Amino acid sequence: MNKNNYEIIETIGKGSFGLIRKVKRLSDGKVLARKEIDYKRMTEKEKRQLVAEVNILRELNHQNIVKYFERFVDKDKTIIHIIMEYCEGGDLANIIKRCKKEKKFIPEAVIWSFLSQLVLALNECHNGGSGTSSMSKPHPPILHRDIKPENVFLDKDQNVKLGDFGLSKIIESENEFAQTYVGTPFYMSPELINESCYNAKSDIWALGCLIFELCTLEPPFQSKTQLGLSAKIRQGKVENLPHQYSPELNRIIKSMLTVSHEKRPGTQDIMKVGKIRSYIIERE
Ligand SMILES: CNC(=O)c1c(C)[nH]c(/C=C2\C(=O)Nc3ccc(Cl)cc32)c1C
């Protein structure tokens, strides 16, 4: 297969990496998304990360992770094309933007549904394909490392899809951790500010920030300066959610924003929480 097997419908996203296009597969008319990455100016390390991203996507097969179909390289233009599932609902950053504009909060039931689906997606990554609704072959733990509203997508049925593993990493050995920090400063965890290692609980922190932002339409920690932001993250004081949200939702978000990553819950702890456990049982 090559890029001529697809017809471009429109450009749907732009990022540091390149473009995301909505395309139609000519063989059967299926609508898909094509991420186009120009590797011309990439360092060897960035090229290795790009190969890692594709290899990770190929390993993961889960209904809450964007599905990978194929990839091909256009050597003349030094562009790699990654074909993935199309998510008609776009990303959560746009949902948050629209809610702010319309001064509307997201209903609690939707928040629980998004949280449950993302915990299942992260469980798939962290626990090597052993989780519920996993269709992946067993694989080493995978850290996403850049969970944020721009990297979470919705399909036409309001199913949530964790996407863009552009900064993700396979942890090949027990003692291996991702060393350098990457990702979004707003969602940077305390352990990273203290120059510790990025680990699975750092993804949980970022997920807690994301769910908090879905409820309040603002990130939990904000400052005009990186220094001020780091101080607030280290302090870990989390405001209560708006009154229409339940104490149970407040509790689970605050638990995910526990400063000590050792005391912070992992995916399997969160999956035991009432409403999430019910969601999982109902879905099986
Ligand atoms: C304005 N753009 C959109 O609403 C939008 C839509 C309808 N889909 C997307 C993005 C993706 C999409 O539809 N499938 C994807 C697979 C992987 C990645 Cl990294 C991104 C996507 C976007 C950004």
ipTM for this model: 0.99
Which atom in ligand 1 lies closest to the alpha carbon of residue 85? Answer: 14
Any ligand 1 atom below 6 A from CB of 15:
no
What are 24-57's pLDDT values in tens digits? 999 999 999 999 999 999 999 889 988 988 998 9
Any ligand 1 atom below 6 A from CB of 163:
yes
Span from the CA of 29 to the centroid of ligand 1 (angstroms):
18
pLDDT band of 17, cuts 50, 70, 90 = confident
Any ligand 1 atom below 6 A from CB of 68:
no
Any ligand 1 atom below 6 A from CB of 18:
no
What are 203-254's pLDDT values in tens digits? 999 999 999 999 999 999 999 999 999 999 999 999 999 999 999 999 999 9
Any ligand 1 atom below 6 A from CB of 53:
no
Q: How far apart are the first and last CA of the chain?
A: 35
pLDDT of residue 172: 60
Give me the active site residues, please: 146
- CB under 8 Å to 205, separation ≥6 — which residues? 187, 189, 190, 256, 257, 261, 264
State phi, psi for 68 to the nearest 5 degrees.
-95, 135
pLDDT of residue 137: 75
Contact (Cβ atoms closer than 8 angstroms) between residue 116 and residue 280: yes
Percent with pLDDT over 90 in the chain = 75
Predicted TM-score (pTM) of this structure? 0.93
Nearest CA to ligand 1 atom 6: 90
Span from the CA of 173 to the centroid of ligand 1 (angstroms):
33
pLDDT of residue 53: 85
pLDDT band of 95, cuts 50, 70, 90 = very high
pLDDT of residue 183: 56
- Name the β-bridge partners of 119: none
Nearest CA to ligand 1 atom 5: 90
What are 58-72's pLDDT values in tens digits? 989 999 999 999 999
What are 149-175's pLDDT values in tens digits? 999 999 999 899 999 887 777 666 555
Cβ atoms < 10 Å from Cβ of 40: 8
- CB under 8 Å to 200, separation ≥6 — which residues? 122, 126, 141, 143, 266, 267
Contact (Cβ atoms closer than 8 angstroms) between residue 61 and residue 75: no
Any ligand 1 atom below 6 A from CB of 9:
no
C-alpha distances out from residue 94 to 101, 234, 267, Å: 10, 29, 26
Span from the CA of 90 to the centroid of ligand 1 (angstroms):
5
pLDDT band of 179, cuts 50, 70, 90 = very low
